[in-house]
């Protein structure tokens, strides 16, 4: 394992300097080497790798398996998204115990994306728990309670729990009602959907802080015009961000990449004194997210010593 001087997730989110995470999906197949090679460029620059859990209903390698490889090979903190969509309570509890044994650094409790119908129109979904009850399960396990009427665990897990939220929803009061329930259930931090301008981010951070939650702002670099159009047309909760996505219409991929990197870097710099951490999403592929992470890391080292 590579040895780094990384702070823990709790320390990262409490530091005066904003943390830097990058969100990636595990590999599609069984070979982790190409993605590990790309992520190795981030050692010494990011505070955590945030691993998605079959996002958009697309099957990937187990995040638990890939996360353990990342920790062993790169020595980076791992934040693991855990979706209730694909597992019943027994499988969820088993995976949480496995994550604790593998020293996974934090768990993000999620209900999960809807699964699109298969070729025959069928959808099979196990939804034994939701994000609120999963947070409760994490808290119980941290106390040693397996919930099965058996003696308490002798070795206690130390799972640092988080949740997700969307600052772009039109009904923000409903969003904060849900977030308050997640905080009460045991969430310590919240990762947001992508933000595109400072005002939305600052308002959200203040409300989340009042609930006792550290905010990890989602940052989404746009790779090409088609990606911006897809986000605008298919992600309904980003409808209020349409103006920011429209800026890329009619531009070449090189133009979109350059403009998106510049806009997101400026946004991160402007919010560096407000937020606990940034979570750079790799929806357009990891290369752009890695480039943005390295640019912000260089700025952070120079300006925020």
Residue 146 has pLDDT above 70, yes or no: yes
Query: Is the distance from CB of 27 to CB of 60 less than 8 angstroms?
Result: yes
Residue 18 has pLDDT above 60, yes or no: yes
Tokens 């890695």 locate to 290
Q: Nearest 5°: phi and psi at 109?
A: -85, 125
Summarize the confidence of residues 137-147 as an average pLDDT: 91
Q: Measure the CA–CA gap between 283 and 223, rounded to whole angstroms.
A: 9
Give tens-digit pLDDT for 169-207.
888 899 999 999 999 999 999 999 999 999 999 999 999
Query: Is the distance from CB of 243 to CB of 180 less than 8 angstroms?
Result: no
* Interhelix angle 225-234/253-271, nearest 10 degrees: 60
Q: Measure the CA–CA gap between 58 and 53, rounded to whole angstroms.
A: 9
Handedness of CA 7, 10, 16, 17 (dihedral sign): positive
Residue 150 has pLDDT above 80, yes or no: no
Summarize the confidence of residues 80-84 as an average pLDDT: 93
Give me the residues paired with residue 20 across strands.
278
Q: Measure the CA–CA gap between 23 and 231, rounded to whole angstroms.
A: 17
Nearest to 134 by CA among 165, 154, 163: 163
Check residues 142 and 1 and name the one with the higher pLDDT: 142
The reported pLDDT for the residue numbered 3 is 45
- What is the token pair recorded at 74? 């790169």
Please tell me the pTM assigned to this model. 0.91
Give tens-digit pLDDT for 108-131.
999 875 655 554 555 555 567 899
- What is the token pair recorded at 303? 């300006």
Q: Measure the CA–CA gap between 185 and 6, rounded to whole angstroms.
A: 28
The reported pLDDT for the residue numbered 127 is 63
Spatial CB neighbours of 234, under 8 Å, sequence gap ≥ 6: none
The reported pLDDT for the residue numbered 85 is 81
Residue 1 has pLDDT above 80, yes or no: no
In the chain, where the domains are located: 9-116+123-303
Nearest to 83 by CA among 59, 47, 117, 119: 59
Is residue 87 very low, low, confident or very high in pLDDT (cuts 50, 70, 90)? confident
Query: Is the distance from CB of 134 to CB of 82 less than 8 angstroms?
Result: yes
Lowest mean pLDDT among 83-97, 129-143, 189-203: 83-97
Give tens-digit pLDDT for 23-57.
999 999 999 999 999 999 999 999 999 999 877 66
Check residues 260 and 151 and name the one with the higher pLDDT: 260
The reported pLDDT for the residue numbered 283 is 73
> What is the topology classification, in CATH, of domain 9-116+123-303?
TIM Barrel (3.20.20)
β pairing state of 106-110 and 277-281: unpaired
Handedness of CA 77, 82, 86, 89 (dihedral sign): positive
Residue 221 has pLDDT above 60, yes or no: yes
Rounded mean pLDDT of the chain? Answer: 89
Q: How is 134-150 classified by DSSP, letter by letter?
A: HHHHHHHHHTT--SSSS
Give tens-digit pLDDT for 264-304.
999 999 999 999 999 999 976 799 999 999 999 999 999 87
The reported pLDDT for the residue numbered 140 is 93
Q: Measure the CA–CA gap between 216 and 154, rounded to whole angstroms.
A: 33
What is the total residue count of the chain? 305
Nearest to 208 by CA among 236, 232, 178: 178
């Amino acid at each position: 394992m590579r040895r780094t001087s990384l702070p823990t997730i709790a320390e990262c989110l409490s530091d005066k300097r904003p943390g830097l995470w990058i969100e990636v999906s595990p590999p599609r197949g069984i070979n982790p080497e190409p993605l590990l090679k790309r992520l190795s460029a981030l050692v010494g620059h990011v505070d955590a790798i945030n691993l998605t859990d079959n996002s958009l209903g697309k099957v990937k390698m187990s995040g638990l398996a890939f996360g353990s490889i990342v920790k062993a090979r790169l020595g980076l903190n791992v934040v693991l998204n855990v979706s209730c969509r694909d597992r019943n309570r027994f499988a969820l509890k088993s995976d949480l115990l496995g994550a604790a044994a593998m020293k996974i650094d934090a768990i993000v409790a999620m209900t999960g994306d809807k699964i699109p119908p298969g070729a025959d129109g069928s959808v099979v979904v196990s939804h034994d728990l939701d994000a609120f009850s999963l947070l409760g399960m994490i808290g119980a396990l941290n106390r040693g309670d397996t919930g099965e009427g058996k003696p308490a665990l002798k070795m206690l897990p130390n799972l640092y729990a988080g949740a997700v939220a969307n600052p772009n929803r039109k009904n923000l009061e409903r969003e904060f009602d849900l977030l308050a329930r997640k905080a009460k259930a045991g969430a310590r931090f919240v990762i947001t959907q992508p933000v595109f301008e400072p005002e939305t981010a600052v308002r959200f951070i203040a409300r989340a802080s009042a609930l006792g939650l550290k905010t990890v702002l989602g940052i989404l670099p746009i790779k090409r015009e088609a990606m911006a159009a897809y986000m605008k047309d298919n992600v309904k909760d980003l409808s209020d961000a349409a103006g920011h996505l429209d800026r890329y219409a009619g531009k070449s991929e090189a133009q979109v990449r350059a403009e998106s990197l510049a806009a997101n870097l400026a946004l991160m710099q402007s919010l560096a004194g407000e937020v606990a951490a940034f979570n750079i999403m790799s929806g357009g592929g990891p290369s752009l997210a890695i480039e943005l992470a390295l640019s912000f890391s260089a700025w952070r080292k120079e300006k925020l010593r």
